Structure 1
Amino acid sequence: MTSVTDRLTSKLPRIGDRGDRKDVVAVVKLHGVITPTPSPLSRGTINVASVESALTRAFGHDRLKAVALLINSPGGAPTQSGLVAERIRQLAAKKPGVPVLAFCEDVTASGGYWLACAADEIYAHRTSVVGSIGVISGGFGFTGLLERFGVERRLHTAGENKSRLDPFSPEKPEDVEWLKKMHTQLHELFVDWVKERRGGRLADTEELFTGDVWLGAKALELGLVDGLGNLREVIAERFPEAEITVAEPKKPLLARLGIGAPAAASALIDAVSQKAAWARFGL
């Protein structure tokens, strides 16, 4: 007759028995504007510091079948785009045989597409906006504004170009020419990255690098993506036995304390700037 102890111990996993543990596809959400200075409250921005914990968790699973990047970003800072993409490739190099798949949501444009190119394969929804392989910067000119209100501005520099593109001074042709050269250099780096990662999958047309954007089907035709579909259907087809798990980043300190958003002017400016970045794509 089997004792109670025997019946209980028989239900315990044996040493070395992995039980019914499933393979894992780890998902990292890369949502928001790419910026080095996110709000201490908001998680709707992307930079290498804010995504580090999520990326290391995603690549740290011991039964990892794939890492999926769920991208929804209109772009932003080129350096942070490069740093995040490089970090993804560094972690991927430690997991040979584990593919990295990128999934475009509403917008994967500019720096957002730079991030997508860190993946081995890119998928888009048929309504996704993809591309914008170009460089943009903007600002405002306030020439005459201070004088109108009787405010005297005092600007002192050492170095003839220290005040280049000062918004309260008249725009100089030589400053604009300098900025254009910077844009050209950054654009070349962006193009080189896309060609390095996409290789022969790209269509042979310079249309790709004009800064234009396309919906999913056209992006597929141009070789910017490898297929149409959403994360769950692609993962279900590629890895039917795997469990999907989301690797969440650590919450900012103030968010963990439950403190609401501040009414500071800087927060308002950040919100307007981010809204403008999304608005370029109708969102």
Structure 2
Amino acid sequence: MNTEPKQVGWERQTIEKLLLAELRERRAARRWRIARSLLWMLLFGALIWVLASEQLPSAAPAGAHTAMVSIKGQIADGGEASAELVLPALRSAMEDKGAQALVLLINSPGGSPVQAGLITDEIRRLRALHDKPVYAVVEETCASAAYYIASAADKIFVDKASIVGSIGVLMNGFGFVDTLDKLGVERRLLTAGENKGFLDPFSPQSEQHKQHAQRMLDQIHQQFIEVVKQGRGERLKNEPEMFSGLFWTGEQSVQLGLADDFGSLDSVARDIVKAEKLIDYTNKENLAERFAKRFGAAMGEGAVQALRGLPGLR
């Protein structure tokens, strides 16, 4: 009996099934690649849209209004309360012809005296240039560098329970010299320049370095005091601990002349500026920009180090 035709038919069916299975897999893989490409294109398009929507200048609001710029969180380079973001917002607010006044909405424990100084100088310049009043409204906290900025305003309004003051400067850190000795660890620090290891936490602090740091702090503190006195003038009461770094409640700050009166953002716009309509000019860095900056910085640093073949400066 001849079984060859059956054998050939079975092999042909098997080959056809394998070929069909391979074809289906290729089609599925192709569909997945197309779907993945479309997904990335959608994500990229959404990112571009977010960046464009936040970067495009908004149309100038019609009619009289109160301009507002928020200063919230730590005042530091790279943060939302940095001079890089606050200064353009101040300019936009003061240059708008419909803005009757600028209100600084402050809720910050302080931060960098450099950033605060840059913001303060720009407030004074814009106020004189555009002849518009500037008011500060304190929410929970207006301390240290935040009060540095607030003192440039024509008037400061607080809540009775706000925390205001802390006119002082600090430099902090830790010392681990004894800890290393107990652990049996030897500190090896090589420097070019006898003071290059200044404030190294693993080395003993010399009296010379301590005095130098104190002189720096005293100088910055004096600059802070002069800014507050220039801004507040004769409204400041004769309080011996005014510039000691202490802080007070909003109620106490009004009594001491650190603030002028009680008020909120809405009440100042309504009763002081006489323009209830509020427009927020705060310039906030979006998540896409923040990611792009960090990613770009990391890539740039990695490329530089790879080219140099050297460790980064510390």
Identify if the C-alpha distance between structure 1 residues 148 and 207 changes in structure 2 by more than 3 Å, giving closer, same or farther: closer
Q: Within the alignment, does 1:133 sit opposite 2:167 as a pair?
A: yes
Q: Within the alignment, does 1:77 sit opposite 2:84 as a pair?
A: no
Deviation at 1:142, TM superposition (A): 2.2
CA contact (8 A) 2:235 2:257 kept: yes
Q: Within the alignment, does 1:249 sit opposite 2:283 as a pair?
A: yes
Partner-residue secondary structure (3-state), 1:161? coil
CA contact (8 A) 1:70 1:103 kept: yes
Kindly report which structure 2 residues correspond to 1:2-151, keeping only aligned pairs within 5 A, or say none. Answer: 21-38=62-79, 43=80, 46-96=81-131, 98-145=132-179
The amino acid across from 1:28 in the alignment is V
CA contact (8 A) 2:137 2:157 kept: yes
Deviation at 1:154, TM superposition (A): 3.4
The amino acid across from 2:95 in the alignment is G
Deviation at 1:184, TM superposition (A): 1.1
Partner-residue secondary structure (3-state), 1:33? coil
Deviation at 1:135, TM superposition (A): 0.9
Kindly report which structure 2 residues correspond to 1:185-196, keeping only aligned pairs within 5 A, or say none. Answer: 185-196=219-230
CA contact (8 A) 1:59 1:91 kept: yes
- Gaps of at least 5 residues in structure 1 are 1-19, 265-283
Q: Give the number of the structure whose alpha-carbon radius of gyration is greater.
A: 2
Deviation at 1:174, TM superposition (A): 2.1
- 1:66-113 deviation digits (Å, cap 9, x = unpaired): 0000011111111111111111112222211x1000011111001010
With normalisation by structure 2, the TM-score equals: 0.69
Alpha carbon RMSD of aligned pairs, Å? 2.6
Tell me what 1:270 maps to: none
The amino acid across from 2:66 in the alignment is V
Match of 2:242 among 208, 216, 230: 208
CA contact (8 A) 1:24 1:61 kept: no
The amino acid across from 1:64 in the alignment is A
The amino acid across from 1:35 in the alignment is A
Kindly report which structure 2 residues correspond to 1:224-239, keeping only aligned pairs within 5 A, or say none. Answer: 224-239=258-273
Tell me what 1:11 maps to: none
Partner-residue secondary structure (3-state), 1:30? strand
Identify if the C-alpha distance between structure 1 residues 163 and 215 changes in structure 2 by more than 3 Å, giving closer, same or farther: same
The amino acid across from 2:122 in the alignment is R
CA contact (8 A) 1:134 1:210 kept: yes
Deviation at 1:147, TM superposition (A): 6.1
With normalisation by structure 1, the TM-score equals: 0.76
What is the total number of aligned residue pairs between the two structures? 236
Tell me what 2:25 maps to: none
CA contact (8 A) 1:53 1:250 kept: no
Deviation at 1:152, TM superposition (A): 5.2
Q: Distance in 1 between matches of 2:268 and 2:90?
A: 21
Moved more, 251-260 or 240-249: 251-260
Identity of aligned residues (%): 40
The amino acid across from 2:116 in the alignment is S
CA contact (8 A) 1:126 1:229 kept: no
Q: Distance in 2 between matches of 1:130 and 1:51?
A: 21
Match of 1:174 among 200, 204, 208: 208
